[in-house]
Structure 1
Amino acid sequence: MADRGFPDQHTTTTVTSTNTTVQTNIRFDASYVRTLPGMLKVGQMVVDILGFICIIASNWSHSSRGSWFNTVAMGGFWFTGIMLALYLFHIVEKLYRIPWLKIEFIFCTLWVLFYLIAASLAAAIGGAIEAFAAAAFFGFVGMILYGFDAYIKFKAIKGGEIAQGERVVIKSTSTAASPAY
């Protein structure tokens, strides 16, 4: 029987183990394009190039607004294209120690801001120049795509995921009670 003055004693132990599984060989895997991040990258590249073409097709493409929009569109196109290639060939998985998700999160967040500015500037004169109105539409769609991608990256970072490959976190809890004297 336990003494009324002393409560039963027990110890709780929590053990967390993390297992990261990656394949370090470079290989082409087209199935990445069918995943949500892959579809987002393809969509971002399409919107980037369509917005760029709209501005270039106008007679005012060399204005400061047009140049800024094209800078944003081509910066997004090339960064997203390079990242898509790195994922398709599993180079991101090979270099899994680089914080790819954080890099992409920062880029996507910046591009939301840049596209907001570029599309707003294009929309401001879009009534007079139809090509700028179309570019503004693609700019706002690009802003939404990059924003959704940033949200996905943020959730992945908070969840402790890696960009490509698998990370399994196993938590086990054990409780040991000492006998009452």
Structure 2
Amino acid sequence: MSIKEYSREELEVKSMLELAHEILLDERRALDFNELYDKTADLKGFTEEKKHEFIAQFYTDLTVDGRFLNASAGIWGLKRWYPVEQIDEEVAATPKKKSKKKKQEKQKKEETPKNQEVTEEDLAIDDDFLDDDVDDLDLDESDDMDEAFDQEFDSEKAESDDEEK
């Protein structure tokens, strides 16, 4: 049934998505979102204020409804118009492969010379870079904690071995 065949009362009762579906069927082509929304709102008899109020809900419903497809930037059509292969091509274009020449140039930049001499200056550490708190650490205390842990672990292991026998 065409949109033109509906009475004013029938159009007011129909949902905006149903009207959008009918509009796309009548047009037989995908439409820009704003154009589709304007036609739908006009059929519903919305004022400018009401159009502004319902646009977000319409977009959300259009996105969630499985009958519609965003074919390209802002262009909406019916999903049944597009074969699966065509949908994949339009929505996600495959990235182009880099040429071998560009790959080789990139590899040359990334490679470091194998015979490059390392100097003491290359290995020097800036003292300001180091944290001053490192000097305050008591490393002997850390060793004592490790030793205590090892002893506790060994005693628990011995107990479990005795229980297994």
TM-score, normalization by structure 2: 0.25
Which has the greater radius of gyration? 2
- The structure with the largest helix share of the pair is 2
- The structure with the largest strand share of the pair is 1
Which structure is higher in RCO with an 8 Å CA cutoff and minimum separation 6?
1
TM-score, normalization by structure 1: 0.24
